Amino acid sequence: MYQSQLIAANCVSEVIKGHNLNHVFEKNFDHHQNITPQQKSVAIFLAYGAIRFLGENQFFIQQLISKKITNKKIEALLCVSLFQLNHDQSTDFTIVNEAVEAAKFINKSWAGSFVNGVLRNFIRQKDQLRNKLKNNEEAFYSYPSWWIRLLKKEYTKDWENILLNGNKHPPLTLRVNLRKISLEHYEEKLKAEAIAYRVLGNIALEIIEPIAVEKIPGFKEGEVSVQDFGAQLAVKLLDLKDGQLCLDACSAGGKTGHILESADVELVSIDHQKDRLYKVKENLERLHLHAELKCADLAEVSGWWDKKLFDRILLDAPCSASGVVRRHVDIKWLRRPRDIEMFSNQQKMMLQAMWQLLKKGGKLLYVTCSIFPDENQQVIDAFIRDHEDAKEVEWTVGSEYNRHANHLIPSENHDGFFYVLLEKK
């Protein structure tokens, strides 16, 4: 276990310094090429858990140590071990012994005995420290205080559930490709493999016990895709018709495929990151679908647009990702309050640029995976005030969605999203 603890600690220390977790994983796994698949899997689990509960872990460290730890790897190893002691099923004895072994590889002569002393001290005081934790919101919920304040202001009844849901493991939800197979026939495949599932809204399937993507029946054949239940709502709201010319702005892959599964449209898909577009291409090849992919700056319209107006535009705008924090656990620690204003300004610019590309009578769906109003309703309200030809179209959803105005609030069924459908009068 100590190898996995050590790799996880390296990753956590980089996140504490402000680096993106996915990039950190790539770097560390390239450096540790001899680890087994099981060790890699455990390292990912530990890193995610330690970062998910970073506020809690750092609170315990502050209570146990009088001086600030200057070595970030030692601090990160303690965070990993404290996560295990509080949320993992391994025995306390095993966790501590393996952590002491891991500490020896950080090249500090005192590291092993220091880690041993801190963790054993925690075990002795566990109950008292957990009681203290309840009096510190940032530590108890493991979110920055500014994040908690924003949610309390906007969601007076739901803020606590939003925070708690954000600290849970995300569900594995599938979108069925109705061009290839019906929901009912795909259910039969899951039953034949004895894979437990539940149906969401008669359109999606949640796998109860998550499995590796390559083991999902029909995935390689393009019969299903992994996509959150809340994200699947986008294509329904777009109101697609065969023969339409559509734009997928800020393409990431999931919604691109869903658009093409839903109607025979001509689709242009844009993103400024080549690696994201490559993933879109791979996904479309798996689904045997085609879109015109363009790597370009969306707002620099003259560089990629051929002057043909679009019937439908999906603007999946860059945002804080505050609604998908359970999938991207580092987000809440990397974001800063000033980022919200930056995203808001970027969203307004993109919305303005896309509006000129839309036909009269056409529809633009504005989407974010944020639950902060500054990136969402305030952007839309300002846009409608400045554009007399913009009309907001009302939309409805079933009881499977946890809806608050135009927000889908994070729940056991789905992540957090914001949707507004605008029609050009």
Give me the active site residues, please: 369
C-beta separation of 319 from 347 below 8 A: yes
Neighbours of 248 (CB within 10 A): 28
Q: What dihedral do alpha carbons 276, 277, 283, 288 form, nearest 10°? A: 180
Q: What are phi and psi of 174, to 5 degrees?
A: -110, 145
C-beta separation of 56 from 86 below 8 A: yes
Burial letters for 207-228: b for 16+ Cβ neighbours within 10 Å, e otherwise? beeeeeeeebbbbeebbbbebb
C-beta separation of 61 from 125 below 8 A: no
C-beta separation of 85 from 46 below 8 A: no
Q: In this structure, what token pair is assigned to residue 205?
A: 């399937």
> Cα–chain-centroid distance for residue 47?
16
From residue 403, alpha-carbon distances to 243, 386, 387 in Å are 32, 27, 27
C-beta separation of 314 from 234 below 8 A: yes
DSSP assignment of 293-353 equals EEES-TT-GGGT--SPPEEEEEEE-----GGGTTTSTTHHHH--HHHHHHHHHHHHHHHHH
Helix (H) or strand (E) holding 180: none
